[in-house]
């Protein structure tokens, strides 16, 4: 699974908002300068996040963008879904994928289980955690593949 570049930028932008001051309002220009992402791209991402109701925008000289809720209440999954739609690793990730092979396919249910696990991990990591600089943050520890094969 690979998220697209705009989604990656959206997480970088929102995380930078959290690191600096999560209750402050930011202009697209400020966020472009802070992140090094080109202004037209930042503007596009901010509009998409606003449409996804993760950011609110305010027009005018004191305007800009701000988070709609606290960083602890916004999961990485929400950001991905605002940018790309529902998290789905394969077409088989839903109960009724409509695939022409669905009636005799053996991998549909396992893919659904994998998709659910990935989504749950993304739902359990929030923007506040993404903004932590402390290496001791409590993120999911994945087992080393070589340990699993022993």
Q: What is the CATH number of the domain that holds 94?
A: 1.10.10.10
**Inside any domain, residue 88:** yes
Spatial separation of the C-alpha atoms in residues 19 and 133, rounded to whole Å: 9
Q: Indicate the number of domains in the chain.
A: 1
Spatial separation of the C-alpha atoms in residues 98 and 114, rounded to whole Å: 19
Q: List Cα–Cα distances, 28 to 50, 59, 102, in angstroms.
A: 12, 12, 45
**Inside any domain, residue 121:** yes
Instruction: Find the domain containing 38 and state its range.
Output: 5-145
Confidence (pTM): 0.80
User: Please, what is the average pLDDT of the chain?
Assistant: 84
Other beta carbons within 10 Å of 110: 10
**Inside any domain, residue 55:** yes
Helix (H, G, I), strand (E, B) or coil at 8: helix
- Which has more pLDDT, 53 or 141? 53
**Inside any domain, residue 150:** no
Q: What is the pLDDT of residues 45-64, one digit of tens each?
A: 999 999 999 999 999 888 89
**Inside any domain, residue 100:** yes
| The two structure tokens encoding residue 107 | 């991998």
Give the HSE-up count for residue 141: Cα atoms under 13 Å, Cβ half-sphere.
6
**Inside any domain, residue 125:** yes
**Inside any domain, residue 68:** yes
**Inside any domain, residue 110:** yes
Per-residue confidence (pLDDT) for residue 4, from 0 to 100: 92
Spatial separation of the C-alpha atoms in residues 34 and 74, rounded to whole Å: 21
């Amino acid at each position: 699974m690979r998220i697209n570049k705009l989604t990656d930028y959206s997480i970088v932008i929102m995380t930078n908002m959290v690191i600096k001051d999560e209750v402050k309002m930011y202009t697209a220009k400020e966020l472009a300068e802070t992140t090094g992402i080109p202004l037209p791209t930042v503007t596009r991402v901010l509009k998409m996040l606003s449409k996804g109701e993760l950011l609110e925008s305010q027009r005018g000289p004191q305007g800009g963008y701000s988070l709609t809720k606290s960083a602890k209440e916004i999961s990485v999954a929400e950001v991905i879904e605002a940018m790309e739609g529902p998290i789905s690793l394969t077409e088989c990730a839903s109960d009724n994928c409509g695939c022409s092979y669905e009636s005799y396919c053996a991998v549909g249910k396992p893919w659904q289980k994998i998709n659910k696990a990935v989504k749950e991990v993304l739902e359990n990591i929030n923007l506040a955690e993404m903004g932590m600089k402390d290496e001791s943050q409590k993120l999911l520890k994945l087992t080393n593949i070589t340990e699993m094969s022993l």
